[in-house]
Amino acid sequence: MSYQVAVLAGDGIGPEVMAEARKVLKEVEARFALNIEYAEYDVGGIAIDNHGCPLPESTLKGCEAADAVLFGSVGGPKWEHLAPNDQPERGALLPLRGHFDLFCNLRPAKLHTGLEHMSPLRSDISSRGFDVLCVRELTGGIYFGKPKGRQGEGADEEAFDTMRYSRREIERIARIAFEAAQGRSKKVTSVDKANVLACSVLWREVVEGVAKDFPDVELEHIYIDNATMQLLRRPNEFDVMLCSNLFGDIISDEIAMLTGSMGLLSSASLNSSGFGMYEPAGGSAPDIAGQGIANPVAQILSAALLLRHSLKLEEAASAIERAVSKALSEGYLTGELLSADERQNAKTTSEMGDFIANAV
């Protein structure tokens, strides 16, 4: 069996962390006798430079021909003067999500044992740990709802966006959240603003309906404003958080920051046929690009998610995850995860990749 993966390394630290993910994948292929073919394409700022737009037709075609996309990160100061719509992040990510109907975004965030001190939370809260999976709807809601635009003139000129959700859209993402909860701590917290939004009232109704098919999973509803607060006080009481597109954007970033170790967080964006795009949660970090100090773990774990969800290679995925756990638990860490007086033990980007590849 042979697989095709489109590699979109992007900008900033993207290419250097991608190199380590490729190193690890190579080991995995050898060990599990897999045949994966890679094709590289420009995306984001580098694509603007080389092709005049953040998501060139050639890149889109390359992704269409692949079984999955391994994505690095995009953006940087060079392209920040561009209009929001033309910037690397927005201009590449939203069209990719829309084009491939990647409606399901999985963002796992866990406070790793031994790394609790990285969390911005008070030590008595972080010491209890947490392990949250944010399941975010990614192709609906106010991101893609029509109409969206402007009308009128002068002081009366107004802009408008439409938040829109159908039963079908809510049901398919809710089902994924409940299925995920069954394999975890069996609790779904659905985030909405049902005291204000018509979309949230429908969201609640549909989620309640789906819950009936999962009697072993506990369901609770929470308003987005309250969710933002409760995550700060008792993050350990959440398991799966089910969110619409906009609320998931906010909640997943809050949780990511609560781990204090963005360089370890990966994410998957899937459609209903198993095709998916896999990327680190952190950004392109242009300030540290090219120095060989970026943490490649998030990119490596994104590759593991790709093997699991799109290529259905569970064993190979677990092998990578075990190798990463080994590195972290043995204190094999990049500098940003070490305190000032331990910093001399920091591993470089490629040392991390080597260690994890060997451990596979």
Ligand X SMILES: CC(C)[C@H](C(=O)O)[C@@H](O)C(=O)O
Q: Which residues are catalytic?
A: 143, 193, 225, 249, 253
Contact positions with a copy of itself (CB under 8 A) in 192-231: 193-199, 201-203, 224-226, 228-229
Q: How far apart are CA 323 and CA 182, in angstroms?
A: 25
* CB within 8 Å of 43: residues ≥ 6 apart: 8, 9, 10, 54, 55, 59, 71, 72, 74, 88, 92
Q: How far apart are CA 59 and CA 82, in angstroms?
A: 21
The item of a copy of itself, ligand X, none sharing an interface with residue 215, based on CB under 5 to 8 Å by kind, is: none
User: Is the CB of 120 or the CB of 331 nearer to a copy of itself?
Assistant: 120
CA dist list (Å): 280 to 90, 212, 266: 16, 34, 4
Q: Which stretch binds a copy of itself (CB under 8 A): 66-74, 86-94, 306-314, 322-330?
A: 86-94
- Which residue, among 306, 253, 319, 325, has the nearest Cα to 283 in the 3D structure? 253
Q: Which helix (H) or strand (E) holds 73?
A: strand 68-73
Q: How far apart are CA 340 and CA 110, in angstroms?
A: 23
> In whole angstroms, how close is the CB of 357 to a copy of itself at the nearest point?
31
Contact positions with ligand X (CB under 6 A) in 47-76: none
Q: How far apart are CA 350 and CA 22, in angstroms?
A: 11
Q: Which of 29, 131, 171, 351 binds a copy of itself (CB under 8 A)?
A: 171
Binding residues for NAD(+): 76-89, 283-295
Binding residues: 76-89, 97, 107, 136, 225, 249, 253, 283-295
Binding residues for substrate: 97, 107, 136, 225
Residues near a copy of itself (CB under 8 A) are 84-85, 87, 89-90, 94, 119-123, 125-126, 142-143, 145, 148-150, 152, 154-168, 171, 193-199, 201-203, 224-226, 228-229, 232-233, 246, 249-250, 253-254, 256-258
